[in-house]
Copies of this chain bind each other. A is one copy, B any other.
């Protein structure tokens, strides 16, 4: 809640922001003003930054940790809309489309984020159109990504979707070890299922089949890719309408 600069000084925060492509072109003094207009906070793993339907008065810029953005339908069925890491802004749809948050954001790991009031940020964009263009690029990229996922869910089988999700996660959040690539994010089977539009049972079955094949090694909320190439092959291999 309270505005603060414990440990992290304002000038340090400015540097942090300028490290992200989004704010690269912004003059430090204006960034400082933006930071002063906002606050920063921390969340323990599992806590929600905001909930679907909450009124949105600003945006968050994630500084540390990972957040999953989830959308639920009327019956409570959930889908993961996005996995966000450091440097990514959250709450953009609510901010720009001027509506309540369309999804909930939950901390996957302990998180730190800067909150900036919407009005201040909008004015900032008006004064710094280069940043607005960066923002447009970001939204365009997200749009592209979601379109790709929509296509995948529409035309691919679960097995292949899961393989793709793993490969992608490994690329973004994988740590190389001598055993293989380990996912740094503690994802449950259910969360994985929500990422590829299926059920936890199906995910469990597939993962165990792959484990038997030696492709992965499983743990509680833990996945190690021992033969990433096998998954990539499965993910990319093109199939004709019928097992060609």
Partner of A147, one of B71, B132, B141, B144: B71
Shortest Cβ gap from A106 to chain B (Å): 16
Chain B contacts for A151, CB-based, 8 A: 71-73, 77, 79, 81
Asked if residues A96 and B140 are in contact (CB atoms below 8 Å), the reply is: yes
Q: Which of A1-9, A39-47, A153-161, A214-222 contacts B (4 or more CB under 8 A)?
A: A153-161
**Contacts A96-B136, A136-B132; A149 near B150 (Cβ below 8 A):** yes
Asked if residues B79 and A155 are in contact (CB atoms below 8 Å), the reply is: yes
Chain B contacts for A125, CB-based, 8 A: 129, 132-133, 136
**Contacts A79-B154, A197-B154; A139 near B137 (Cβ below 8 A):** no
The binding surface of chain A is classed by DSSP as helix
Query: A22: CB under 8 A from chain B?
Result: no
Query: A130: CB under 8 A from chain B?
Result: yes
Partner of A129, one of B73, B98, B132, B142: B132
Chain B contacts for A133, CB-based, 8 A: 96, 122, 125-126, 132
Asked if residues A197 and B153 are in contact (CB atoms below 8 Å), the reply is: yes
Chain B contacts for A139, CB-based, 8 A: 96, 136, 139-140, 143
Asked if residues B155 and A77 are in contact (CB atoms below 8 Å), the reply is: yes
CA of A133 to CA of B125, assembled, Å: 8
Chain B contacts for A73, CB-based, 8 A: 151-152, 155-156
Closest 6 CB pairs between A and B? A154-B197, A96-B140, A77-B155, A97-B140, A132-B132, A139-B139
Residues of A within 8 A of B (CB): 71-75, 77-79, 81, 92-93, 95-99, 102-103, 122, 125-127, 129-130, 132-133, 135-137, 139-144, 146-156, 194, 197-198, 236, 238-241
| Other 20 A-B pairs with CB < 8 A, given A96-B139, A153-B153 | A71-B148, A72-B151, A73-B151, A75-B238, A77-B154, A79-B151, A92-B140, A125-B133, A125-B136, A126-B130, A129-B132, A132-B133, A132-B136, A135-B136, A136-B136, A139-B140, A142-B143, A149-B150, A150-B197, A153-B197
